[in-house]
Amino acid sequence: MIEAVFAITVVTAFAAGLFMAWSIGAVAIGGGAFAPAVGANVIPVKRAAYLLGIVGFAGALIQGASVTETVGRGLVLGTSTTPMAASVAILLSAFLMALGAFGRYPIPAAFTVTGAMVGAGLALGGTPAWDLYGQFAALWVVAPILVSALSYIIARLLVRNSLPPQYSVSVIVAAVFLVFPLLEFPFLGPPDKSRSLAAAVAAWAPYLSEAHWIGIPLAFAVVGAALAYRTVLRHGERATNRRLLVWLGMLVAFSGAGNQIGLAIGPLLPLLDSIPFLASPVLVIASFVLVIGAWSGAPRLIEAVAREYATLSLSRSVAALVPAFLAAQVGILYGVPVSFNEIIISAIVGSGLAEGGRGEVSPRKLSLTVVAWVASLVGAFVGTYGLVSLFAGQGLT
């Protein structure tokens, strides 16, 4: 009887993780990556959702391990999450995100899952990891400010009449290409460790170890600038920005899925330790479910973010996506779950303010969204703590 109950609980935990993967595809990254492109009328909503699913699948598989480890083992000290506690945490988090999607308010998975997992761990007798919470809080508070400021600066650069477009666009593309060789991928490193292209080159050619951090990124930046310069001269600024917007959306979707999929799989790590052969299949299945979420649930949120937060031109849309991509990759690098919807909305607001902001940003919508975010974090913590404490009192955990 006990074995049967445990098996049912484990199956429920995995099902809850898949439900969270669907919610991440539909809500966590669904409202962000291609919303600027849709807002600028570059691609239709359904095509954006299709691209979101395909690129998100690749990002989840390739870059999903870093945040998974943090969420699965680091949020609470001195205890391990049980199948029942993981089920409660994931289900409540996914429910809050789905509720936000229904109300057209993108709820960050980072907030709900972090709050729920901390609540579950404390209810099981764990101790708070205050240092880690401080890092999370700093990133969640500071990152939106920096992202908004950077998107504002980029938008102002793009709309300046005194600077020829082939130069302004080239600078922005060069900045994006500069980051490419610094992105970490598992297939570039030793087993169970990710490595960037720059670090891999240094490992393969030790005599380049002193120059790889500067020389390789600069080489990528020069190539990116040259491509952008030539494209603007050949096709014009508007056509170039339209192409750039789609490619940036794909980069953001890739990075966002890599950062966010850990929020679905991380709570399952204690279970996967006992059945390690399931770890890779679970990641693949969760990534595929993320695709289903992107295709079935993302269109509603994409349209909401694109239409209701700011009126976006092509240049401001480009300005919104560049810092969002950078922020997601910083989170992956340090294993911190970035509040992806918070980042993309902050970027959209910053770029929308580039020309004075009158009529560009909806203060009421923005205020209600912030309230919904705080409520989701607190609600996930309180709800999970209460339910897990109740189940623990009944001997069900």
pLDDT of residue 359: 47
Helix 65-73 with 314-334: angle, nearest 10 deg:
60
pLDDT in tens, 246-268: 999 899 889 888 888 888 888 88
Q: 34 with 52: CB under 8 angstroms?
A: yes
Higher pLDDT, 139 or 5: 139
The share of the chain scoring above pLDDT 70, in percent, equals 90
Per-residue pLDDT band at 186 (split at 50, 70, 90) = confident
Whether pLDDT at 221 is above 90: yes
**Dist CA 151 CA 149 (whole Å):** 6
Give the residue-averaged pLDDT of 112-137: 90
pLDDT for residue 31: 64
Residue 106: pLDDT band (50, 70, 90) is: confident
Would you list the domain boundaries of the chain?
A: 2-164+256-393
Question: What is the distance, to the nearest Å, from the Cα of residue 346 to the centroid of all Cα atoms in its chain?
Answer: 14
How high is the pLDDT of residue 122?
93
| pLDDT tens for each residue of 226-243 | 999 999 989 888 888 888
Predicted confidence (pLDDT) at residue 4 exceeds the cutoff of 80:
no
One-letter identity of residue 350: G
220: closest CA among 246, 201, 233, 236?
A: 201
* Band (201; pLDDT cuts 50, 70, 90): confident
Give dist(CA 288, CA 31) in Å, integer.
18
- Token readout for 99 is 């509720």
Of 35, 5, 90, 26, nearest to 304 (Cα)?
35
Which of the residue ranges 77-81, 124-128, 268-272, 279-283 has the most confident prediction, judged by mean pLDDT?
Answer: 124-128
